[in-house]
A and B are shown apart, each in its own frame.
Chain A
Amino acid sequence: MRAGGGGRLSAFLFRRPRLRLWLLLGLPLAWLVVVYLGSLVVLLFAAFWDTDSFTGQVIHTFTLENFQEIGETPVYRDVASRTIQMAAMVTVADVVLAFPIAYYMARVASPRTRNLLVIAVLMPLWANYLVKAYSWRTILSEGGIVNWTLDPLGLGFDGFSTAGLWLTFTYLWLPFMILPIYAGLERIPDSLLEASADLGGRSLATFRKVILPLAFPAVVAGSIFTFCLTLGDYIAPGLITSEQFVGTVIYNIRGQALPTAAAFAFVPIVVVIAYLLVARRLRAFESL
């Protein structure tokens, strides 16, 4: 047995830890570098290229005009700030909705109920994104369930609007907020709550001074998902509203002005990096 090929190979590798590491990580690393970083690098380069005004083809000469255009044209600023506001509002709404659900799941529900709730929260993630976006189109439309309910009250709701999109996004990303908060709350040891009670803390004080500070990094972790996903999405805005968002603008201009689109893509990238840096300060990564 000891003289077998497998044994010799493992003996060979045993003496060469460096090679062992390369064999183990080579493929995933190549994937990450070539496919993932590679496409990002292409994007970064494209932002500095020029386009032919007739054919719309990319000309490989260095220019900063694209960034100038993004900076100087008011419409790009409006669209960027609209998108960031939307991302912030969706995040707030998701926190407000997710926290009670996650709290109930983690600290109140029986194990059986908890499992059922986890399944219920995960269920929407099994359905295709497009199906969910299109169903919200149906829900929000003139003859949809929202207006059908409001109609007898003499009210109407313009579903294909910013408000409608806000509802849609809040629904779409809710599970991404619930799960981190749930995990964060579950990690809080019961002993801390007992200690708080022993020291005379009422439930509200315990919640405010013990649970909330401990769960806060988890909330920030969840917000990374809701914020970043909203920032980059172009399908739901295209379906629900006629207002433009960063994703839809990039999608619309990429055919004729790929470099401008690439330059505009820097906006969400910079915003997300800034957001992640803040999140790291708030220790969000430790609760992911």
Chain B
Amino acid sequence: MNGRKHLALRIGFGGLMVALAIVAASCGGGDDEAGQEGTAAPAAWQIEGLGTTLDEIKQLAREEGQVSVVQWAGYAQLTEEFQAATGCQVNTKDGGSSDDMISLIQTGEYDGVSASGNASVRLMGTGEVSPINSDLIPNYADVQEGIKNQSYNSREDQPYGVPHGRGPNYLMFRTDAVPEDTDTWGVIWEPDQLEKYNGKISIYDDSIFIADAAVWLKATQPELGIENPYQLNQEQFDAAVELLKMQAPYVGEYWPGDVAKQIQSYTNADSVVGTTWPYQYVQLTAADPPAPVKAIKPKEGTTGWSDTWMIHSNAANPNCMYLWMDHMISPEAQAAVAEGFGEAPVNLKACSVTTNPNHCDEYHADDESWWQDVYYWTTPTEDCGDTDDSTTCVTQEDWKAAWTEIRG
């Protein structure tokens, strides 16, 4: 009896050692790859297995036969047409937040990602994504010049991926509960308004929402001196956090990038006012019967995004991914995305093929002045994104910690 117990113990202990050894081995693995890069000196955009000409890419893509991408819900469009034309089957995985997308792409299971600014800057920083050779992406030439080579999609004028489209985070409300002529974020920030919509407020559940509080403070408390809602000094940051903590008890629902959840809430009137992506607004108004909702860019301006399709540095299907990036900025796919998600295309040739001929005008695709007060998501960094040593800003890490506290 005793001997058998002994054996069981030994097996258990041996097993634990094996587990430890496996963990130790897998942890060490990561360091080897960096060393290999130095041996040859390929172009920065070169990825193992990627063809060097468009014809070669098309040919190799047929062998790959598939591409896996992390996307914001509703981004991948015309996938069947794409498969018919290239032979690449498209597998998509939705991310709910930029953090979510980063952890997904870091698994190495995906060839690419539609990254917003608060993910793309970090991904370029870690080398998780690769620069691209825009010569191998014919449609790149048609992308609006003003969106190329921005801080969130390039480094030192070297593009990392292709722009996908841009849009604002809207203020959305049910017109049967909130006055139809509402034009201000005050409905979710001012105490008397919060009292009025207590428990019916819907807020995006991510630390990047602190920037939305900063947008409101920028407009209403000029003495704080906020210029960029992502570059906050400690005083400005504390003010934003305090505002959010004041708001928290009134919030009915934080939606963690789960669009279905928010759509259900607005349909059932569990939520009547809050922040949203144009996607939910498009879905709610297209529903049968349509929900009585209205979405606006309030007069204080808003946060928004300008997204980029990026390719993983070790993509298993680089050729299909190149064709996919080209596909996503083709006029047809751009039109489908712009109308499906409710955003502005970056390839203005899309404007002539949208189902609604006025889509580009309605979404201000070519009206830079409209985008002046749309602050695209980006990563809060210590150097405030500038070279001035005298200023320091609150970092992403502190934003995240503060968000957990705000949520309580």
Known contacts A55-B122, A78-B408, A256-B396, A38 near B99 by CB under 8 Å: no
Q: Is B103 an interface residue (CB 8 A)?
A: yes
- A45 cross-chain contacts in B, Cβ below 8 A: 23
Q: From residue A220, how far is it (CB to closest CB) to chain B in Å?
A: 26
CB distance from B85 to the nearest CB of A (A): 35
Query: C-beta contact mask, A198-209 vs B, less than 8 Å → 1, else 0?
Result: 000000000000
Chain A: how many interface residues by the 8 Å CB criterion? 44
CB distance from B336 to the nearest CB of A (A): 29
Q: Please, which residues of chain B bring their CB within 8 A of the CB of A243?
A: 408
B23 touches A255 (CB 8 A): no
**What 0/1 pattern do residues 296 to 319 of B give for CB contact below 8 A with A?**
000000000000000000000000
Bound: A25/B11 CA distance, A? 10
Inter-chain contacts of A242 with B (CB < 8 A): 251-254, 407
* Chain A residues positioned under 8 Å from B382 (CB to CB): 53-54
Q: Is B246 an interface residue (CB 8 A)?
A: no
* Contact partner, A137, options B256, B264, B400, B401, Cβ 8 Å: B264
Assess A252 versus B252: contact at CB under 8 Å? Given A56-B396, A142-B268: no
Bound state CA distance, A54 and B23, in angstroms?
A: 26
Known: A33-B15, A54-B125. A38 touches B253 (CB 8 A): no
**CB distance B205 to A38 under 8 Å?**
no
Contacting pair B102 A255 (CB below 8 A): yes
Contact A38–B405 (Cβ < 8 Å): no
- Whose C-beta in chain A lies nearest to the C-beta of B17? A33
Q: Which of B27, B125, B126, B408 has the most CB of A within 10 A?
A: B408
Q: Select which of B16, B199, B207 is within 8 A of A158 by beta carbon.
A: B199
User: Which chain A residues numbered 216 to 269 have a C-beta less than 8 Å away from chain B?
Assistant: 238-239, 242-244, 249, 252-257
Main secondary structure of the interface of B (DSSP, over half): helix
Residue of B nearest to A260 (CB): B401
Q: Which residues of A contact B23 (CB under 8 A)?
A: 38, 41-42, 45
Contact B103 A254 (CB under 8 A): yes
In angstroms, Cα B109 to Cα A41, docked, is 23
Judged by a CB distance under 8 angstroms, whether A141 is at the interface is yes
Verify B126–A41 contact, CB threshold 8 A: no
Minimum CB distance partner of A37 in chain B: B19
Tell me whether B269 and A143 are in contact (CB under 8 A): yes
Is B190 an interface position by the 8 A CB rule? no
Contacts beyond the supplied A73-B405, A238-B258, A256-B400: 15 A-B pairs with Cβ under 8 Å: A33-B18, A41-B19, A51-B397, A56-B122, A75-B408, A137-B264, A141-B265, A160-B199, A239-B261, A242-B254, A244-B404, A252-B407, A254-B103, A255-B99, A257-B401
Chain A contact residues, CB within 8 Å of chain B: 21, 25, 29, 32-34, 37-38, 41-42, 45, 51, 53-57, 60, 69, 73, 75-76, 78-79, 137-138, 141-144, 158, 160, 238-239, 242-244, 249, 252-257
The 4 closest A-B pairs by CB, nearest first: A255-B99, A33-B15, A53-B397, A38-B19
A selection of 28 A-B contacts at a CB cut-off of 8 Å is: A25-B11, A33-B19, A34-B18, A34-B19, A38-B19, A41-B19, A42-B23, A53-B382, A56-B396, A73-B405, A75-B405, A75-B407, A75-B408, A137-B264, A160-B199, A238-B256, A242-B407, A244-B407, A252-B404, A253-B400, A253-B404, A255-B97, A255-B99, A255-B100, A255-B102, A255-B103, A256-B396, A257-B401
